Amino acid sequence: MSQKKKIIIMFLAALLLYLHAGCWSRREINELAFVMALGIDSLDGGKLYKVSVQTANTKTFAKEGSGSTEEKSFAVYTATGATPAEAVRNLSQQLPRRLLLSHCRLVLISENLAKSGVEPVLDFLQRNREVRETVWVLVAKGQADVLLEQEFDMEDIPADTLSRLIKLGEETSRGYAATKRDFLYKLTTARIDPVAASVEVLPDVAREGKPGVQLGGLAVFRADKLAGWLDAKETRGFLWVTGEAAAGSIVLDSPLVPGKVTFEFLRVQSRVTPQVRDGRVVILLDVETQGDLGDLAEPWVSRGQDNSGGGMEELIKEVERGVQETIEDEILAALHRVQREYKADIFGFGDAIHRRLPNEWRKIEERWDEIYPSLEIHIKVSANLRSSGQTCHYRHR
């Protein structure tokens, strides 16, 4: 089923819901503006909010099959206000349709707004009953409205492009996207700092005259303010620690075989255990993964050895060791950036101490911001390839 047909079905389903509610609440499709994405920027030093809505153009769907049309499949409308809610209400001055936010897939927050604080935005999203709990919250590198205006070559509606990239990133353990529910929970819990997916337009990577888009890395918050960014390596380090890594691959160099070796991990488990050692709280981090060889030169011949069972066993041990070292390196990269530089507890170590060692947490809660940057973390990584496995121990201070 094509993407356009799916959207048409979605529109018809929404219409049936309105009809089912009774004649008094009946809404025709041409009376509604289906919002697919919401963008929020700050203006005048944070005194004003600019809200942009990306709406689906129902006219283009009606014309499908009746010949090609150059009319865009989406439209973007913007308005300003002293609050996000007022800006949304002001959209009615230029958009003669009722905004339907229940189909909104993602909310884009501009970089400048994120740096000044997103609490007013999240408060608006929480109070608006139409915005679903599962809507994704993203931070745009630059202006949110500019990104919503961009046409990408992958899908007719930019919100669909971003949605597909989000899902693909999570399926391959290369990205993480926070929902409104997840972001709000962490924002209102003093023991966990929130994160959000970062997105940016790539004007130099264009196809068919349309710019590329990159959804990778994370925006790190300390409380409700943007503290900085994580790159792809650091992002996967975050996924290892939090247990959000699902499936993916690690490419290794091996002295035993020509070319590269790919380890495809299929299962990941992560455990964060706080303990008291020598009168101080420390964190024990255990990460376990299992997987298979994704590719290997065939016929396989070990360098300097024949293709025997002993040679394969040596290769298995070599791959497991390489996977463990790679995971450790990615975790350490994330810890160094977040713990030392941003001083943001996106891993939930404080929350783990609060739950597992409540008496100790009461002793250090008031000084947690001072303790966290130098918190001692012991890392144990285990990798298992087929039937063999090894465990290496590391220490991060």
DSSP letters, 207-224, are ETTEEEEEEEEEEEEETT
What's the rounded Cα separation, in Å, for the pair 211 and 153?
Answer: 8
Question: Which range is least confidently modeled, 50-54, 201-205, 308-312?
Answer: 308-312
Q: Which pLDDT value is given to residue 315?
A: 85
Is the pLDDT reported for residue 389 higher than 50? no
By the 8 A CB rule, do 211 and 197 touch?
Answer: no
- Closest C-alpha among 267, 323, 263 to residue 290: 267
* pTM of the full structure: 0.84
Q: What are phi and psi of 12, to 5 degrees?
A: -65, -40
The answer to whether residue 288 scores a pLDDT higher than 70 is: yes
How does DSSP classify residue 370? H
Domain extent listing, the chain: 3-230, 238-396
pLDDT band at 206 (very low <50, low <70, confident <90, very high): low
pLDDT band with cut points at 50, 70 and 90 for residue 319: very high
What percentage of the chain exceeds 70 in pLDDT?
A: 80
pLDDT tens digits, 20-46:
544 434 456 777 889 999 999 999 888
DSSP states along 217-275:
EEEEEETTEEEEEE-HHHHHHHHHHHT---SEEEEEE-TTSSSEEEEEEEEEEEEEEEE
Task: Output the average pLDDT for the chain.
Answer: 85
Return d(Cα 243, Cα 151) in angstroms, integer.
34
Q: Which fold has domain 238-396?
A: GMP Synthetase; Chain A, domain 3 (3.30.300)
